[in-house]
Amino acid sequence: MKKEVRKTVIAGNWKMNMTPSEAVAAVKETASLTAGKDGCDIVLCVPFVDIAPAVEAAKGTNVKIGAQNVHFEKKGAFTGEVSADMLTETGVGYVIVGHSERRQYFGETDETVNKRAKAALDAGLTVILCLGEVLEQRQAGITREIVSMQTKLDLAGFTAEEMKRVIIAYEPVWAIGTGLTATPDQAEEVCAIIRGVVAELYGGEVAEATTIQYGGSMNDGNAKELLAKTDVDGGLIGGASLVPEKFARIVEAAQ
Ligand code: PEP
């Protein structure tokens, strides 16, 4: 299977930005600017309180709405958390799991990432699973080891069937929100390493069908070159996804 037959997914991660009314305006504008751009799936992952109005605003458009986190338990005494069933009932189809900001600031580990992703898959969601090395690890020459280990731990126990709803986002932590982007060759190299690990775990067919995105200061200026790489099947975009014109130009670059 070749790159052309894998699904290209351009996903925005709004992080903790946009009030509900701002979200509605941004979803509508993004949808109108990307109308008819069917060469990739378009997802906006929004804060929890924005989900319901964003889903409403996205109805009838090609923009899909995702969440930024999910808890692994179905319900109970977990103040501040949201379950997978709550997300599906509000119309969410995607959820980001394991973003480096959650790992860095909120104590997420590969074990909790794996559990959260499993809960999301059980509820029928598509998971955007983030992983990537920090700067010290890249400088120490252990990027391959780090991303391989994360891939194995984060996907532990998932079936080949479930892998159809797993998108992996390779996000070098040193490139997120810093303006530093991995070069297209660096992105390609690590996305290919991750695909190799997926092949070890699930076989070549599953690996060739798995969407592997790059994320880390992707913008409308660098997207085309990054997305041209064989193993880069889309992008997870933070800052640039907050500006519909910029995000739409990234979508355009993916056509
Ligand atoms: C992200 O939040 O996943 C991200 C890649 O952010 P940015 O594009 O701002 O680096």
Q: What is the DSSP string of 111-129?
A: HHHHHHHHHHHHTTPEEEE
Query: Running DSSP on this structure, what letter comes out for residue 183?
Result: -
Q: In the chain, what are the domain boundaries?
A: 9-253
Distance CA 67, CA 45 (A): 5
Q: Which atom of ligand 1 is nearest to the CA of 13?
A: 2
Record the tokens describing residue 37, joined without a space.
């751009």
Q: Is the CB of 180 under 6 A from ligand 1?
A: no
For residue 3, the model assigns a pLDDT of: 77
Nearest atom (ligand 1) to Cα of 101: 2
Pocket test for ligand 1, best of 171, 173, 181 (most atoms within 8 A of CB): 171
Give 5's pLDDT tier (boundaries 50, 70, 90). Answer: confident
230 CA to middle of ligand 1, Å? 21
In the predicted model, what is the mean pLDDT of residues 247-255?
Answer: 97
- Measure 77 CA to ligand 1 centroid, in angstroms: 31
Residue 18 vs residues 11, 14, 58, 102, 147: alpha-carbon distances, Å: 16, 8, 15, 19, 31
Catalytic residue numbers? Answer: 99, 171
Of the pLDDT bands very low, low, confident and very high (cuts 50, 70, 90), residue 180 is confident
**Residue 79 φ/ψ, nearest 5 degrees:** -50, 130
Separation CA 120–CA 183 (nearest Å):
32
Alpha helices in 203-243 (DSSP H): 204-209, 223-227
Decide if 10 contacts 220 (C-beta within 8 A): no
User: Helix, strand or coil for residue 206?
Assistant: helix
Determine whether the shortest distance from the Cβ of 131 to ligand 1 is under 6 A: no
Which residues pair with residue 97 across a beta bridge? Answer: 129
Residue ID of nearest Cα to ligand 1 atom 6: 238
> Is 249 in contact with 221 (CB distance < 8 Å)?
no
Nearest residue (by CA) to ligand 1, atom 2, is 238
Q: Is the pLDDT of residue 1 over 60?
A: no
Residue 217 CB less than 6 A away from ligand 1 = yes
Which one is predicted more confidently, 177 or 67? 67
Query: What Å distances lie between residue 106 and 94, 100, 128, 163, CA to CA?
Result: 21, 9, 18, 26
Q: What is the pLDDT of residues 205-233, one digit of tens each?
A: 999 999 999 999 999 999 999 999 999 99
9-253: CATH superfamily: Aldolase class I (3.20.20.70)
Q: What is this structure's pTM?
A: 0.97
